[in-house]
Amino acid sequence: MKLIDKINKALEDDRCFWSFEYFPPKTQQGVMNLYDRIERMCNLGPLFIDVTWRWGGKSSDLTLELCSNSQTVYGVEANMHMTCTNTNFELIRSALEKAKDQGVQNILALRGDLPDNSVEFDPEVGEFKYATDLVRYIRKTYGDFFCISVAGYPEGCLGPDDVDCDIRYLKEKQDAGADLIITQLFYDVDNYLAWVDKCRAAGITIPILPGIMPIQNYGGFKRMTDLCRISVPQAIWDRLEPIKDDDQAVKDYGIEVAVDMISRLRDAGVRGFHFYTINLERSTRMVLERLQLVPTVHEVRPLPWSPSLNEKRAGENVRPIFWRNHTRSYIKRTALWDEFPNGRWGDSRSPAYGELVHGEQVRLAAGQAQKKWGAPTTVDDIKRLFVRYCRGSLDSLPWSETALQPESIEIQQRLAEINARGFLTINSQPSCNGAPSSDKVHGWGPSNGFVYKKAYLEFFASPENVKALLARLEGNPTATYYAVTKSGELLTNCQEDSPNAVTWGVFPGKEILQPTIVERVSFLAWKDEAFEFWNAWSGAYARDSASAGLLSRVSDDWYLMNIVENNFQKDSESIFELFDGLGQELADE
């Protein structure tokens, strides 16, 4: 969807909105970390994100990849930067065609930095000189397909003497087809508002979004404002001076400055704000929270998972629960499907999952993995890591790159208890019997609805523990399970292969939605991936080490198992009662 349509709707509703800018990291680990950060920050409800661009090799490709995946995996519109200096029509056309093919419909057209002062525009060679040329080319070549945003400079691109000239150029960009303006960062609100008035007086009518960069540290702030020729009110320098060597104090003050700036801009009628995040999360989140610019549950969670903006997946509203912590993998392995479940999962024999890519499961380098998870040599060592994760003292495991889902906090202690006994959980959800769709923890979907969940646990367990648990399950007619080994030996009490809805919602004027299911074919596809995490983890250690041997044996011998307590009217405690007294306690628990 074009950003200008979303922006105009927000302005029509007199509703505040915000967006986040990121830059492509230089390492693969950094890229994976950024994806995790984008996913978390989508919960803050940005109207869109944008990603910066550098020509050459992997950098420009990575920008497109980040934009495409943000839309397809996380369901947030992406605005792709594109610079035109030292390029030609063919390079630009090729990049725009790739963007169009991947559903990226929003472009921030920039001149970019000149390599030296000798570069001149030569139409015979096909080089671009100004961003206006790029805007004109995009509009002429692609009509209205792309929403085009451009940069504005409240303090002049090269300094205050250039402000009036820059406004004339900005008007030319609008006349060439630009849809909106995103400004460079600034800290002088009065000067910014005066500049906007000048723009309006010059005939610029398109929306203008102010660029906000919370101060992160003194040295970086000083370098950035010097480089970009940004004037900073003396009052800010005076406050920074006595705390400049205390990074946390500077960050906290940076949040205070941003909150004050946005408050003043809102009082002046501004409704949209563009955050330069420099790939950091905390300051932006704190600013929005202090301003009480918190999105509604419906805005952030139309479904329990983020709907894709990929055109092929339009209408998709059912997914298996197994990939809840691994959305990118699910999107990748289902990318070639001709159609996606809408309303119901359908024939369980029809999904054909793409091949698993081996070796990509654990993203940490060997040294990082060893630092985070140590070198386990006994099953108790592994159990302790899972217990620490459940209690919040460890921020990730190979199967879970982020902390527990908020909904699992209410069963946190019980999760820790069964992990201590050797049932190593990698996915869970508590039961929920008719919570309002606006509930901060369980809610999703349209307003004035009610949501329901069956208690669900997914875990690894030894053959001995599985045998004891199966005996317990024989006495529980409302619980269903699947248990499978790495080699494919399947145990289940499910009589049919039909999907089992574990999450559903009832909303005014709509059919019942069942967005999360458990079913056999999908579980067996997920099984290969889940066991591969053990192999990837063991790869962080020398092949003949005790740790590698232990992790490989667990992978080869243990079961992956899931249990659904189908009586959703029972509280979440009931599913954990199945485990009471089973397994072997940790020696130090």
Catalytic residue ranges = 21
Residue 23 makes CB contacts below 8 A (sequence gap 6+) with: 51, 52, 278, 279
- Rounded-to-integer distance, Cα 426 and Cα 400, Å: 7
Task: Please spell the DSSP secondary structure of 324-366, one letter per residue.
Answer: TT-HHHHHHHTTT-SS--SSS---TT---PPPP-TT-S--S-H
Q: In angstroms, how far is CA 206 from the centroid of its own chain?
A: 29
Dihedral of alpha carbons 472, 475, 480, 483, sign? positive
- Rounded-to-integer distance, Cα 184 and Cα 192, Å: 10
**Helix, strand or coil for residue 541?**
coil
Q: Helices in 42-188 by DSSP H: which ranges? A: 58-74, 89-101, 131-142, 163-176
Q: Encode burial over 206-244: b for 16+ CB neighbours within 10 A, e otherwise.
A: bbbbbbbbbbbbbeebeebbeeeebebeeebeebbeeeb
- Rounded-to-integer distance, Cα 164 and Cα 273, Å: 23
Residues in the chain: 589
Amino acid, res. 69 = N
Q: In angstroms, how far is CA 249 from the centroid of its own chain?
A: 28
Nearest alpha-carbon partner for 76 in 24, 19, 114, 118: 19
